[in-house]
Amino acid sequence: MTFAHMLAATLPALQFPSGADVVHLLPELIVGGGFIVTMVLDTLIPPSRKSWLAAWSLLVLLASGAVTVIDWVTVGGQQISVYAESFSYDRFGLFINALILIAAIFVVALSPSYLERQKIHHGEFYSLILAASAGMMFLGSSESLMMVFLSIEVLSLALYLLSGFRRGNTKSQEAGFKYFLMGGFASAILLMGMALVYGETGHTQLPAIAQVVAADLQSVDPLLLTGIVLVFVGLGFKVSAAPFHMWTPDVYEGAPLAVTAFMSVATKVAAFAAILRIFSVALTPLYTHWEVAVSAISILSMLIGNLVALRQTNIKRMLAYSGIAQAGYMLIGVAVSGSAAIAGVLVYLAAYTLSTFGVLAGVMLVAKGDDDSSSYRSLRGLGHAHPYVAAMMALSLLSLAGFPPLLGFWGKFFVFTSAIQNGQIALAIWGVLTSAISIFYYIRVILILYSPQESEQGGTVSWLAPARVGAVVVGLGVAATVVLGVFVPVVYHLALSARDALLVRIAAP
């Protein structure tokens, strides 16, 4: 078999991306293109006017957002595969894109004032953010193993650099390096898993794999299962699920606040999109096998995340553990097969994005000093100095804790309902008990915000006045948590239509 025959026989006709493909992936491409243009602009613009870069990247993101909205309306319920079935253009991808764009827009809006104060070099910051966003958006819509791996690598590399972005600050360097090494190792494991899955099923496209897996259910060969587990370990690392969460606290603490905010929110959204596509959709026939592992990881994450968070004295580390715990709750949705669970996870992702960002953005507005005034001691008494910012942070924390009128409650509620409806009551009970523990450390932060300011460590820690633009953006985010919490059907409908789009392919192969 000469190489030419093999080429012709197996690979579908290689053709340059047709016009339709470009249109369907426009949001991702805009951000990707934006990334490259920003790199070029960065060299041209004199250092003094670096903030123009922020404006430009904001423009790119907004454009991509607009296109996403338009696509949402035009695509309707269909699920079109693009670029030789490596990407899928559907409402699910657009939902994930929307969340990532929101996070990116928030970060880019807040970072000019933040970078100025922390005297961090603007330079490549915005381009790296755009690169990471592009990677995540690709991950959201990718439907073949290759594309999943590629987009993960794109976003990871950008994030490695971003975590180590603060020159001269040893913590930031160490964080970046740690993230790089662990990330590399995890990618290697993920890759090995993908290789085995490819090997055993013969395909890299998820729909094809789904068919193969669904076909011969009786004899499940161990290699395929190992592959699946390894893939889950790789993605588990990205989502910082429990046994593979060790990197999260150190990296979050070391990285600059803007990066921590972006990383903690957007990576989880993209990674969960991949997990949902692979596990909740493609590999559901093997559900009984991998369900035990996912439940165990979910319970472990909830436990470790909530318990260790009780002991933290730094808000970034506390939010890292809170992230681990929330990943645990979302994994309940993955562990519970069934379409309601997927909708639950999507709503949870939206709630998690808005709430976590609300907290970190609040600190970002008033951050001062090299530890970004993120330790509890330096946050004491913020409520009296800046009541508006403190109120925003308090509401976001309460939403994370799951108090009803806020969106955070609905995330947990939908996930728990799907768990009980499918009979996994144990998972729900674990979820409830651990979220009861979580209330304590969220409220402790609020207490610290509003506690009287002792000044025994010489001179009160003063905060910087929040920039007007930043305050407005944060206000919008927190207002969304409250308003969407009350009018939750809006979010729920979006999540439902995204889920239906996801399941179109499976329903009618």
DSSP track, 177-225: HHHHHHHHHHHHHHHHHHHHHHHHHS--BHHHHHHHHHH--SS--HHHH
The one among 405, 483, 503, 506 contacting other proteins by CB under 8 A? 405
- Between residue 413 and residue 432, which ones bind other proteins under the rule CB under 8 A? 413-414, 416-417, 420-421, 425, 428-429, 432
Q: How far apart are CA 467 and CA 450, in angstroms?
A: 21
Q: Shortest gap between Cβ of 274 and other proteins (angstroms)? A: 16
**Site for other proteins contains 279 (CB under 8 A):** no
- Between residue 285 and residue 324, which ones bind other proteins under the rule CB under 8 A? 289-290, 292-293, 296, 304, 307-312, 317
SS3 70: helix
Segment contacting other proteins (CB under 8 A): 41-49, 177-185, 209-217, 361-369? 177-185
The one among 51, 62, 85, 198 contacting other proteins by CB under 8 A? 198
Q: Shortest gap between Cβ of 433 and other proteins (angstroms)? A: 8
**Site for other proteins contains 164 (CB under 8 A):** yes
- Name the β-bridge partners of 314: 375
**Site for other proteins contains 36 (CB under 8 A):** no
> Which residues in 174-185 are b (16+ Cβ under 10 Å) and which e?
bbbebbbebbee
Segment contacting other proteins (CB under 8 A): 33-41, 44-52, 93-101, 220-228? 220-228
Residue 86: other Cβ atoms inside 10 A: 21
**Site for other proteins contains 439 (CB under 8 A):** yes
Q: Which is nearer to other proteins, 467 or 502 (CB)?
A: 502
Q: Shortest gap between Cβ of 109 and other proteins (angstroms)? A: 26
**Which two tokens mark 250?**
């150190």
Q: Shortest gap between Cβ of 340 and other proteins (angstroms)? A: 8
Residue 503: other Cβ atoms inside 10 A: 17
* Cα distances (angstroms) measured from residue 396 to each of 90, 146, 361, 482: 30, 37, 10, 9
Q: How far apart are CA 43 and CA 45, in angstroms?
A: 6
The one among 60, 131, 148, 196 contacting other proteins by CB under 8 A? 196
**Site for other proteins contains 52 (CB under 8 A):** no
**Site for other proteins contains 253 (CB under 8 A):** yes
Q: Shortest gap between Cβ of 79 and other proteins (angstroms)? A: 21
Q: Shortest gap between Cβ of 179 and other proteins (angstroms)? A: 9
> Which residues in 327-356 are b (16+ Cβ under 10 Å) and which e?
bbbbbbbbbbbbebbbbbbbbbbbbbbbbb
Q: Whose CA is closest to 94, among 116, 110, 76, 121?
A: 76
**Which two tokens mark 304?**
């470790």
**Site for other proteins contains 186 (CB under 8 A):** yes
How far from chain centre, in Å, is Cα 235?
12
Q: Shortest gap between Cβ of 239 and other proteins (angstroms)? A: 14
Segment contacting other proteins (CB under 8 A): 52-60, 100-108, 133-141, 403-411? 403-411
Q: How far apart are CA 266 and CA 285, in angstroms?
A: 29
